Structure 1
């Protein structure tokens, strides 16, 4: 039971990171109706920007850890959001009214561009950093010596995820930008006729999604202590799976799907063969979609006539 509890904690933390990335997928799909396959690489870019900012601040002699973390988070979010805006303007906006496969092909191409750009700019080696957030709490120690631990970085990841989910759920539900997003999701042509700036709304959606991916990259860097140019592909596929599992187009569904994928991977790795954890995750996705085609919290798509 103690081992189960420890893996539950580990799975929730991993699922929180997947959920943050999945929100970006589900926001773009909900408004534009396409999958941004470069979003995983935006997450990777956010991790690299956080790493570079860490190194710059340390080289300048800054030693206050809370200040460093705050500055790194804000810089990573700002620069990665600029990447998201640029990607939308270059790769997606010119093809928005083209045939349906064109934006998807452009997204895949942009994914390769970002991956190879990072490999050329930063090298192919894994980039490690020393742990910045240490310490934690011992929740329970069994008679055989197994200890259930909750580290400070795990607490930080989960709390940050909950706060960001609450903020962006409120933003979509109660702000002018959120109303514009929901209007564009229903009908872009009618939204434009009613005075909604569709281009600006879509750009802001990409910006917000990229900022959330930067937070996920920042958390990944702190939690695992490393980044590499290929991590965006793997995490992006898992986060896309999470968005589909939870019901793509639903913010709570994206987070629920992320938690589900994180828990499946963690428990499968703990009790079965770690080599087949991805097989388990995708198998469960297939089973869920057979019985619930719209995902756990998805809504049936209404055909407009």
Structure 2
């Protein structure tokens, strides 16, 4: 193992971990508010990839306008899904909401297949981040250098919103006690819609950078990243934003290093994520920095 190879894979691992973290935050925010696993989150990620493709390759939007367009449209899609599929079931048994989430996931996958066909499309390099840059003897894809910076900026803005604004205060109140927050006059519908919008918007930011690293768009492209980001959220402590970021980094680094230095195990890369999930649930079910909660009856 050479130092150059280690540094190159370390940069790749940090980049992949940052992407997982951006998407995992959407899972953890929704769970923190509603105690709901939004299994459609990976497919919202997929729809954001198609929004990017059509915005850049078909409508030829400038890169800065395309990024805003994709984030806003994806955030709107997340809020629409909450309004149509989750809000009517808010007081229903948790099993009903879970089935609804899985149904939305299948709906988005089949809708994308019907509208865009199942043929993969090439993700456009509209930010010029697919090329590599040499840092001494180490060659690193430009996107691997940009992703951690974007993650830091997005998390700084998100933590400011949550800790320093009235909306963030309302989010924290709803996450602590949904019923008491409603009695205190907090607009529950607004808070939950904003949570879905912010989580989906972060997934859109993630998909723009994901497409630079894995430049292929297809209706099922969100399935495995969605599952892995859910695993990342569980590893760190689902419901905890910092835990989601930590879990994303851990999963990304381990995956990349596994492929780089244990090549006979490359085919088990995806399986390893699920093995790690099982181990975490056995050893520390609340995640590495998650808090123990009790289910209200």
TM-score range, shorter chain: over 0.9
CA contact (8 A) 2:53 2:124 kept: no
User: Which residue matches 1:17?
Assistant: 19
User: Which residue matches 1:43?
Assistant: 45
CA contact (8 A) 1:173 1:179 kept: yes
User: Which residue matches 1:210?
Assistant: 200
Deviations 1:49-107 (A, max 9, x none): 0111001343xxx7xxxxx2211110001111111111001110111111110000000
Task: Indicate the SS of the match to 2:136.
Answer: strand
Task: Indicate the SS of the match to 1:48.
Answer: helix
CA contact (8 A) 1:192 1:198 kept: yes
| TM-score, with structure 2 as normaliser | 0.93
Residues 1:186 and 2:176 are matched in the alignment: yes
Residues 1:278 and 2:280 are matched in the alignment: no
CA contact (8 A) 1:15 1:262 kept: yes
CA contact (8 A) 2:57 2:124 kept: no
Which of residues 102, 115, 130 in structure 1 aligns to 2:109?
Answer: 115
CA contact (8 A) 2:237 2:287 kept: yes
Q: CA deviation at 1:130?
A: 4.8
How many residue pairs were aligned? 291
Q: Within 1, Cα distance between the matches of 2:148 and 2:194?
A: 25
CA contact (8 A) 2:71 2:202 kept: yes
Q: Within 2, Cα distance between the matches of 1:94 and 1:131?
A: 40
CA contact (8 A) 2:40 2:101 kept: yes
Q: CA deviation at 1:289?
A: 3.0
Q: Within 2, Cα distance between the matches of 1:130 and 1:297?
A: 38
Q: Within 1, Cα distance between the matches of 2:19 and 2:29?
A: 16
CA contact (8 A) 1:91 1:106 kept: yes
Output the aligned Cα RMSD: 1.6
CA contact (8 A) 1:264 1:280 kept: no
Q: Within 2, Cα distance between the matches of 1:41 and 1:227?
A: 12
Residues 1:28 and 2:30 are matched in the alignment: yes
User: Which residue matches 2:85?
Assistant: 91
User: Which residue matches 2:293?
Assistant: 301
Q: Pairwise mapping of residues 132-143 of structure 1 onto structure 2 (< 5 A)? A: 132=126, 133-134=128-129, 135-141=131-137
CA contact (8 A) 2:11 2:145 kept: no
Q: Within 2, Cα distance between the matches of 1:221 and 1:198?
A: 34
User: Which residue matches 1:166?
Assistant: 156
Q: Within 2, Cα distance between the matches of 1:4 and 1:44?
A: 31
Q: CA deviation at 1:274?
A: 1.5
What runs of 5+ residues in structure 1 fail to find an aligned partner? 63-67, 142-147
Q: Within 1, Cα distance between the matches of 2:123 and 2:30?
A: 32
Residues 1:81 and 2:71 are matched in the alignment: no
| TM-score, with structure 1 as normaliser | 0.91
Q: Within 1, Cα distance between the matches of 2:212 and 2:261?
A: 26
User: Which residue matches 1:5?
Assistant: 7
Deviations 1:89-129 (A, max 9, x none): 11101111111100000000000000010111111111104
User: Which residue matches 1:144?
Assistant: none
User: Which residue matches 2:250?
Assistant: 260
Q: CA deviation at 1:290?
A: 2.4
